[in-house]
Amino acid sequence: MPTASTGTRRRARVAAAASATAAALALGVLPAHATTTATPSSSTTTSAGPSAALSGRLDREALRASLDAFHQAGMYGAYSAVRDGSREWRGATGIADVDTRRPTRPDFEHRVGSITKTFTSVAVLQQVARGKVDLDAPVGRYLPDLVPGERGRRITVRMLLNHTSGVNDFVLAAFPGLAEDPGKALDEGRFRHHEPADLARLGLAQPPVAEPGGKHVYSNTNYVLAGLVLEKVTGQDAEAYITRNVIRKAGLRHTYFPASPRIKGPHSKMYESFYGYIDPARDYSTYDMSWAWTAGALVSTTSDLNDFYRRLLTGGLLGPAELKEMKKGVPAYEPEPGQEALMRYGLGLYTIKMPNGGWYWGHDGAVFGAGTWALSSEDGRRQVAIGYNYMKYERFAPDGTPLPDPIGEALVAHVDGALAGTGKSSRKAAAATAPLLAPRAVVPAERFLR
């Protein structure tokens, strides 16, 4: 039987994991610590786009090898799409079901989590172009009953979109008991429906995490509020508006807000470990995503995500003025004195410096069991999008020190190599990059574990 001190330490560790989850739907996309787990042998399939013979800047063999390395490092399964201009490579590795050993496929639909925020931001910026939303107007102008008083006057729409509002996250409050028993809390929430205004109230009721207009602190509540602003100024359901004016305008055929807890098309199971507190990892591919709404409920494919970001970055979804505003970024974390921030967060879109030395644009996302990352060169020519099906696999030593992370290193190596045009990346450089991105969490887990 565990001692009282053991129980206290366990609660603290679970609370740390829960706090990190509340930080963002994007938690775990660029993990900074993990342990290697046994995995089956991998198999990768590829398919070409307009050109059947890919060569030069799309090194198929290197891309296949680096995607397989991600699986071999401990990821159950993954699917990736890489582009250079009109050329495309798509691959899949590992398994979609740990029981049946069903293989993954490149065309899988996938819950893309916080990548939804880019879509929501585009929708709001379309209303900016129409003169219905002022980025620097107080949110209280649009939502006076929900964000009244001084808070409503100090927080602007821009602060919601770049996460400088100081509003806390709602996730912990929306999943009672998550800090004590993650598996039970997630199971009990599987078919629970949430109204957007209720989610916003849960986040607003928490203590602020920063002063309005101060530092960037990632919070899903910001994008629920942004969705409510969108509904206020358009008089339309936010999901319906985004579907008509962003998803369809971008020509996406496999991207949608789910109408039920189930994904419509072919997909992987999605396994959540919650840092080892759900053991074995449990499938949460069937889930009521009303809890994420305009902050993270979308389903998409890797090819659709590349289409979306290419159209966005080349001016197909927003005018030049709105796209310029979208790219105005704030540091996504506080760098060491004298160093530059290697990630800057704009309005639902961030730019990040990768090990290959280039800066790329995109977003990442995570929901329970599913992780996604999509990046593009600024001209939209060079792109990669990857989805994977095992989340919060990171592990910690008894003193709370993060253990080595071969899975995260392999993920960064694949993405970096794809963007560099070599299909491969230095694992040493990737290992140095992954921890730089960990501060995207509002409260890093290790802060609680020490």
Q: Which active-site residues does the annotation give?
A: 114
Q: What is the CA radius of gyration of the chain?
A: 20
Q: CA angle, corner 26, sides to 237 and 132, nearest 5?
A: 35
Alpha helix ranges (H) inside 132-255: 149-154, 157-161, 171-174, 182-188, 196-204, 220-234, 238-242
Contact 270, 369 (CB under 8 A): yes
Give the C-alpha separation, 14 to 429, whole Å.
31
Q: What's the sign of the alpha-carbon dihedral 340, 346, 348, 354?
A: negative
List of long-range contacts for 238-244, beta carbons under 8 Å, 24+ apart: 238/120, 238/123, 238/196, 238/293, 238/294, 239/293, 239/294, 239/297, 241/123, 242/119, 242/120, 242/123, 242/294
SS3 category, 138: strand
Q: How far is CA 330 from CA 95, 113, 159, 374, in A?
A: 38, 21, 11, 20
Give the C-alpha separation, 329 to 341, whole Å.
11
Instruction: Report the relative pairing of strands 370-376 and 359-367 from DSSP bridges.
Output: antiparallel
